[in-house]
Amino acid sequence: MQWREVDGYDWCVIETPESGPYLSLTLGYGLVHEPIDQYGTLQLAAGMLQAELSRPVEMGFGRASVPEISVSVGTDITSVGMHGDIATLRAAWQRLAEVFAGRHQLDAAPPVDVNVSAAPRDLTSRFGLSSLTFAASQTLEIQAQQDPMALLRYLDPAAGNVRAVMCTNTEQLVNSSFAPLPRTVQASEPSRYRDEARPGAMEFRAGYALISTVVPTSADGSAAARVLAQQLSQHIRDVTRRELGLSVSLLPIGPDTLVTYMTADTILYGEQRSEIQAQLVSKPIPDHRIAEAAQGEMNNRPLARILDNRVHGLAEDPATPEGTQQALSRARATMRFFTDPHSRTPVGYGPVADELPSPEGQRFKAKAGRDHVIVGTDVLERRRSGSRGVPSEYDRVDLNSLILVIDDVEDCAVLIDAEYRTVEIVFDTHRKQQQLRELIAQRTVGVPRITARNAALPGPARQRVRTTQMAKLGVVVIPLAIIGFAVFMSWLDDFRSVGEPAPEHASQEPGEPAEEPERDVGSVDTVVGEMATLSNWSRVTVNSVTEIEPGEDAEYPTEFGHHYQVNVEYCAAEEADAVDPEHFRMFHGDPAQLAHGMDDIEDPIEARELSLGECATGNVGFYTAVDDPEELGVDYRPGDLDSITWVVEDVE
């Protein structure tokens, strides 16, 4: 490998004759550099570039050649790779220079896909908000002002806005297709790591991720990440007595690399998760493992990492045991543990962010139920009331450290603070919605805003409002119907007095509707096997609760806890009614603890619309991590108006 300078550009010349002629361009601009109001532009520009460079290259009369092109978007770089014969690559490289200079128009094309394996909350609270956050979340549909041609002109290596590194394995391809650099580009990429970022615990619903940490973007950092992976694999074996796969995600962000460790096939819960994390913190690392990891990095120097480090002005020194030790010290100082509601934080660590207090301030009540939003001086809180036996839930944000407001096209807003705490507000579900809008607008002046789809989920809150309005209408309509029915029955009695049979002796005509079921509004307690009627007359029955034996590839642990299959039936009493398994929950204990939803069951009931009189029957699965759950119950709660609890007296 040789480095040389041509017209101010860094060229790397390597020797790989067995792979055929090769050319590449690496730009020091990735998702972390893209402003949030331009999210998606880089991926779109890369897709258009990929499509254009993949077109056939005219090589003379009647001759054309097609190069192999790869354009990729990374966390902190964008790269273009080419394979083909020398003449084809020269022509494609010249076309690339013309595209960057704006002398070659591009057609629309699909954006390049990106795959970012990191928790958005972890990523953002460490490195701040950028397009990288949205790429990690994967659900938002940002409506941004996208001008890919303007971005490509900005990224033109000849413009000198971003650093560029070029590489080839063929001497004849080292050329001056790009204009000489007009000025010196910034020598090195600064760290984006927030001073306020703390190690500690981050509680999530249990998932594959176990821990995350930050190491230097260097050979020593890679060796340290390798050592921690080996240690973690050993602790998983010791605790679970099984060989479980471990996957590692490396996200380079300039001089820092975020490393996330995840189990590959099995989610670890509660006590097992706690014990593995505790052993990682408390048990020393053998010296031989550090030395072997450093040696392994010396024998493994991937070209991509060398080019990435060069484009960011980072040294590519070989790994050493001493350097790996220093990188491990940084990893310990930045380590975060992904806990679940039933696991413990390792001794000596606290939460990564302080718990915000419940605020005193203006309260905005929801049109349905007991939900409300409180806008305080420093904190905004949204509280959702729980059903009987289930505690209420709340979300809070620090109004003094807001970093983004997302205006959802469904007339909602999502507020995000520097620790990636979020609060979702569905304005039209609150009684004083206009006043709430104005107050939120006042308190978020100066905070960056974007518009997006799928930022909020307003459906359940709006359904609660509609259900409540139906119930209020029923309070008026039903008594009037009863009065009318009483008058009609009085007239009918007079009619019967002249010879009609009494109702107890009259036969029901075919097709005559049966008597309406008794209507229960509000919270209902019953037992498994009984039917309950909702406020819209629909009927719900929990038929049985059965403990099942999961297979070897079970979603949840089989060594402890219980796997339940709950058989339910839902019968619609109105058109466009719907059944949704997410409305069923299982809980146990006092205070109540929710069980985990489980998909590995037979004949699962599916979410779908039902027509009038149609019934759906199927199963819902749950897993409890405790060995002897007490006060087991099943809860159905489509909204705040209806709350039905079935006490589980017997498990089959």
The verdict on whether omega for the bond into residue 581 sits within 30 degrees of 0, i.e. cis, is no
User: What is the spatial distance between Cα 353 and Cα 348, in angstroms, rounded to a whole number?
Assistant: 15
First to last CA, the chain: 69
The residue type at 581: P
Structure tokens at 148: 């890919």
Condensed to tens digits (0 to 9), the pLDDT of residues 600-645 reads 888 899 888 888 888 999 999 998 888 778 888 998 888 655 678 8
Secondary structure of residue 139 in the 3-state scheme: coil
Report the SS3 class of residue 537: coil
Could you tell me if residue 505 is left (phi over 0), alpha (psi between -120 and 50 degrees) or otherwise beta? alpha
CB 46 within 8 A of CB 40: no
Residue pair 376/363 in contact (Cβ under 8 Å)? The answer is no
Q: Tokens at residue 228, please?
A: 């921690």
Angstrom CA distances, 312 to 10, 77, 252, 307, stand at 12, 9, 11, 9
The mean-pLDDT minimum among 271-285, 345-359, 581-595 falls in 581-595
Token pair for residue 107? 């057609």
Q: Is residue 80 a contact partner of residue 99, using CB atoms and an 8 Å limit?
A: no
- CB-based burial label for 395 (10 Å; 0-12, 13-18, 19+): middle
pLDDT tens for residues 506-557? 333 444 444 444 444 456 678 898 888 887 788 999 999 999 888 777 777 7
Q: Calculate the CA 340 to chain-centre distance.
A: 16
Res 462: pLDDT? 66
User: Which pLDDT score is estimated for 495?
Assistant: 38
CA–CA separation, 122 and 124 (whole Å): 6
Range of lowest pLDDT (146-155, 225-234, 406-415, 450-459)? 450-459
Interatomic CA distance for residues 293 and 519, integer angstroms: 69
pLDDT of 334 strictly over 90: yes
Comparison of pLDDT for 499 and 65, the residue scoring more: 65
What whole-number distance in Å separates Cα of residue 592 and Cα of residue 108? 54
Using a 10 angstrom Cβ sphere, with 0-12 exposed, 13-18 middle and 19 or more buried, the burial of residue 322 is exposed
What is the DSSP track for 540-565?
A: EEEEEEEE----TT-SS-SSSSEEEE
Q: How far is CA 25 from the centre of its chain?
A: 32
Return the top range by mean pLDDT from 58-72, 157-171, 580-594, 603-617.
157-171
3-state secondary structure 293-333: HHHHHHCCCCHHHHHHHHHCCCCCCCCCHHHHHHHHHHHHH
pLDDT at site 122: 95
- In sequence order, the 6+-apart residues with CB closer than 8 A to the CB of 158 are 97, 100, 101, 178, 179, 180, 181, 182
On the question of pLDDT at 376 being above 60, the answer is yes
| Residue 547, beta-bridge partner list | 564
Question: Encoding tokens for residue 53?
Answer: 């460079």
Task: With residue 397 as reference, give the H or E element that holds it.
Answer: strand 393-398
Judged against a pLDDT cut of 80, whether residue 266 lies above it is answered with yes
Q: Alpha-carbon distance 20 to 80, whole Å? A: 17
- Round to whole Å and give the CA distance between 376 and 443: 10
Is pLDDT at 652 greater than 90 in this prediction? no
Q: Which residue blocks in 340-458 are alpha helix, DSSP H?
A: 433-443
User: Average per-residue pLDDT in the chain?
Assistant: 84
Give the number of other CB atoms < 10 A from CB of residue 286. 12
**DSSP codes joined into one string, 472-499:** HHHHHHHHHHHHHHHHHHHHHHHHHTTT
Q: Which of 316-325, 569-578, 588-597 has the lowest mean pLDDT?
A: 588-597
CA–CA dist 464, 14 (Å, integer) = 65
pLDDT at 454: 75
For the beta carbon of residue 104, count every other beta carbon within 10 angstroms.
Answer: 14
Whether the per-residue pLDDT at 648 is higher than 80: the answer is yes
253 contacts 334 by C-beta, under 8 angstroms:
no
Which tens digits make up the pLDDT trace of 186-219?
A: 667 899 999 999 999 998 877 899 999 999 999 9
d(CA 3, CA 11): 6
pLDDT category at 287 given cuts 50, 70, 90 is very high
Q: Say if residues 114 and 79 touch (Cβ distance below 8 Å).
A: no
How do 562-571 and 78-83 pair as beta strands?
A: unpaired
In the structure encoding, which two tokens stand for residue 521, read together?
């509004």
504-520 pLDDT, tens digit per residue, is: 333 334 444 444 444 44
User: Of 641, 615, 30, nearest to 385 (Cα)?
Assistant: 641
* 254: region left, alpha or beta (phi > 0 left; psi from -120 to 50 alpha): left
Q: What is the pLDDT of residue 496?
A: 40
For residues 254-270, average pLDDT: 92
Q: What does the pLDDT read at residue 184?
A: 67
395 vs 650, residue with greater confidence:
395
Mean pLDDT (whole number) for 562-571: 92
> What's the whole-number mean pLDDT along residues 273-293?
95
CA distance 186 to 614: 67
The pLDDT of residue 125 is above 90:
yes
Higher pLDDT, 456 or 21: 21
